[in-house]
Structure 1
């Protein structure tokens, strides 16, 4: 009977841990999407700002 209580507690702990893992992976996915969007805008900024500046510096 004692081992049954222990296993029930253990599986409850495992379930709570899996829920926390699911929530954190969800937030990590959202964070990765935001990182991808910001890196996309940084790439656009590099294309339209940094590269013309570099070419102007290289020409003159």
Structure 2
């Protein structure tokens, strides 16, 4: 879960930068939005979000 949370934090910070400044840090660091590494990072952030949704739903059902 630590890695999923870390990836979601990275994604949230990147979206914050996009919203505030129009600056995509992931694309800047890895050669544009369509570069293989950028797309991999975006995909991993999305998967991490789905994992954390599943964790949240699972925790709510136990409570």
TM-score range, shorter chain: 0.3 to 0.5
Superposition TM-score, scaled by structure 1 size: 0.48
RCO greater where, 1 or 2, for CA within 8 Å and sep 6 or more?
2
Larger-Rg structure: 1
